[in-house]
Chain A
Amino acid sequence: MKKLFSKEFLTRNETLVGVVIIAFCILASFADANFMSIPTLTDLMRGGIVLGIFAVAAMLVLVSGGIDVSFTAVAVFAMYTTTLFLINYAPDMPWYFAFAISIIIGAGLGAINGVFIAWFGLPTLIVTLGTLSIYRGFVLTFVGSKLISNLPPDMRGFSRLMMVRGTNADGSFYSLPWAFAALVGVVVLTWFILQRTMLGRAIFAIGGSVESARRIGINVRAVQFFIYIYVGALSGLAGIIHASMSRVANPFDLVGLELSVIAAVVLGGARLIGGHGTLTGTILGVSLIILVRNSLIVIGIPSTWQSVAIGALILLGTGLPAWQAKRAAARAA
């Protein structure tokens, strides 16, 4: 019953985003014959790695009925601390070691969020708003505020690991780094958790109604705690990938991106009230945001209008279903 209900509404939002993406691509390929090409696609995929991992994390929180704005600060904290630690104490460690440290730091910071949310029962927006400034302030005050451009050699090595590499007909290069596999891995793992485990069912249940979830015997605290640890770990992963790929650990990076990520997720059909959200929608939402960011100019809209376009898309993407729901409610009453 619930499944049917959510399907009916969500497909609408996802199809809407899908249609906009296709329309955008058609328009763009009319304007520029080279638009529909492998380089455009790999650029899109490359740009979507960090944003995509963040979006999956943000989606999970939205599904559980919360909202997290601290994930960018978690990512910066984990990425910067890891890089600094490796450079000073273990510069020759392989990249997966760096990734593991960053993920563990991220999970730890996520656990702090989890304690405030699951044990103290504070509103998620307020907690993560607070920890956003705490984590960022902590890194910049006590860890460092300098840009690190000489990353450990193996982290740079990671950014050179290419999955696909080639030359286009017109001589331009394209490549897709292995980092993309991390996004795929995150999506598959999250899909498995959400769709194939009791834990995933519990996350949806809590998002639907905390009280009902508690009454059917779900340990709400433990599930919430898990969500924020998992989200922290994903943020740590996204952070270290971001640093490796841009070959610089910048403590001022990433923070400020959180609302765009949430916007992408919401565009993909996740709802702030919880209980709704799909991975397909999330990925579509991220794709659309990146398309608009990278290629708005191709369809003849100057890039100064970029944030107007993204804002309008968010309003349209959330406004249409909201309005339909409101009209349906008015008819029913």
Chain B
Amino acid sequence: MSNLKPKSNLLASPEARLALIAIVVFVVMSILSPGRFLSVANATSMAFQFPEFAILALAMTVTMLTGGIDLSVVGTSNLSAVFAATLLTQFVDPSLTGGDMFMWLGIAVVAAICVGMLAGLFNGILVAIFGLPPILATLGSGLVFTGLAVALTGGSAVMGFPVGVAWLGNERLFGIPIPLILFVILALIISFVLTRTSFGFKIRMYGANPLAAEFAALDIDKLLIKVYVLSGALSAIAGLLIMSRANSAKADYGSSYLLLAVLIAVLGGVNPYGGYGKIIGVVLAVLSMQFLSSGLNMLQVSNFARELIWGVLLIFVMIVNTQKSFGFGAKKKSSATT
């Protein structure tokens, strides 16, 4: 009995169980297709693929920590990307290079992030000031943002950028794909914000118990608005990444990422009712999903089976996380948390 104890302690937190899943998936895939899964080429291709939806999952996580949700992440990212793309195609000659090009790229990036933050501000005001349930506010605003992107482009893709646009999503720095670097930096920043700043502490406090947070004299309206602005900014960055990888911007890119982002956040152990969630969990969830995707791809399993397996994984993890009587992590709730 006593020699079982350390094991259940180790697996008591959702993150530990998720790490186990990620490792198991990795090992199984390496065994099943040894030559290809464990190759540098595969590692690089994975590193180019996942950051875009992983950043959206970060945005989702931040809002979920307050007990909310942001269903407008994809709408926001497409609107920001379309805005930046329109800016670039309207004012910039595609053959431009050198300093001028970088200046314009900088302007486009800043503009896109501003659009994302404005979209987030809009969500924040709806949720905080008007008291809409986040799921409806962002469902509606997501439609509005997507609709604006459609209206701005007439529904077609915007393309014809200067060469520098493709750099962000397709190049490497010191051999490491830039999207991956971007994601790591953002994950570290968000993790730092959530665990080491009073803003992060307030987010978790509000998510754990909104009423208590109100009685503790938190400025809840301001807090919520800041959270949704942050989520909007992250979505805009994901949008820029998608735009750079596709070398074009369109109103309906990445529409399958919305549910994927929710799925990853929940898989990563973020409590959709708020209050609990760690960035490391989200990162592990992203890795598990990407290992599964790439591995199954190599085994020539169809894309649709991937969807099936994601769903099974999500429900399996939820059952394990909630059913304390189900085996590991049984009566460990009190000792294992925090």
Chain B residue at minimal CB-CB distance from A320: B130
Interface membership of chain A positions 285-302, coded 1 if the CB is closer than 8 angstroms to chain B and 0 otherwise: 000000000000000001
Pair A129/B141 contact, Cβ less than 8 Å: no
Pair B307/A137 contact, Cβ less than 8 Å: yes
Question: Which of A41-49, A115-123, A187-195 binds B?
Answer: A115-123
A161 interfacial contact with B, CB 8 Å:
no
Pair A134/B146 contact, Cβ less than 8 Å: no
Residues of A within 8 A of B155 (CB): 304
With A125-B272, A315-B126 as given contacts, are A307 and B315 in contact (CB-CB < 8 Å)? no
Pair B140/A141 contact, Cβ less than 8 Å: no
Interface size on B, residues (CB 8 A): 47
A132 interfacial contact with B, CB 8 Å:
yes
Add 15 more A-B contacts to A126-B314, A136-B304, A315-B140 (CB < 8 A).
Answer: A67-B135, A120-B319, A133-B308, A137-B305, A137-B309, A138-B308, A141-B302, A141-B304, A273-B133, A304-B154, A308-B147, A319-B130, A319-B137, A322-B132, A323-B130
CA distance A137 to B263 in the complex (A): 15
Interface membership of chain B positions 280-320, coded 1 if the CB is closer than 8 angstroms to chain A and 0 otherwise: 00000000000000000000011011111111101100110
Within 8 A of A (CB), among B126-157: 126, 130-133, 135-137, 139-148, 150-151, 154-155
A40 interfacial contact with B, CB 8 Å:
no
Chain B contact residues, CB within 8 Å of chain A: 71, 126, 130-133, 135-137, 139-148, 150-151, 154-155, 255, 259, 262-263, 266, 272-273, 301-302, 304-312, 314-315, 318-319, 322-323
Pair B144/A326 contact, Cβ less than 8 Å: no
Within 8 A of B (CB), among A136-151: 136-141, 145
> What is the minimal beta-carbon distance from B31 to any residue of chain A, in angstroms?
22
Pair A311/B142 contact, Cβ less than 8 Å: yes
Residues of B within 8 A of A29 (CB): none
CA distance A134 to B155 in the complex (A): 31
CA distance A326 to B304 in the complex (A): 44
With A122-B322, A272-B136, A309-B147 as given contacts, are A129 and B131 in contact (CB-CB < 8 Å)? no
> What is the minimal beta-carbon distance from A96 to any residue of chain B, in angstroms?
31
A55 interfacial contact with B, CB 8 Å:
no
Pair A307/B146 contact, Cβ less than 8 Å: yes
Contact of A130 among B135, B143, B314 (CB under 8 A): B314
Question: Which of A168-176, A209-217, A259-267 binds B?
Answer: A259-267
Pair B312/A134 contact, Cβ less than 8 Å: yes
CA distance A313 to B144 in the complex (A): 10
CA distance A129 to B266 in the complex (A): 11
Pair A314/B140 contact, Cβ less than 8 Å: yes
Contact of B308 among A137, A305, A310, A313 (CB under 8 A): A137
A-B contact pairs, 30 of them (CB 8 A): A116-B315, A123-B318, A130-B315, A132-B259, A134-B307, A134-B308, A134-B315, A136-B307, A138-B308, A140-B302, A140-B304, A140-B307, A145-B302, A263-B140, A266-B136, A304-B151, A304-B154, A305-B150, A308-B143, A308-B148, A308-B150, A311-B145, A314-B143, A315-B126, A315-B136, A315-B140, A319-B132, A322-B133, A325-B131, A326-B131
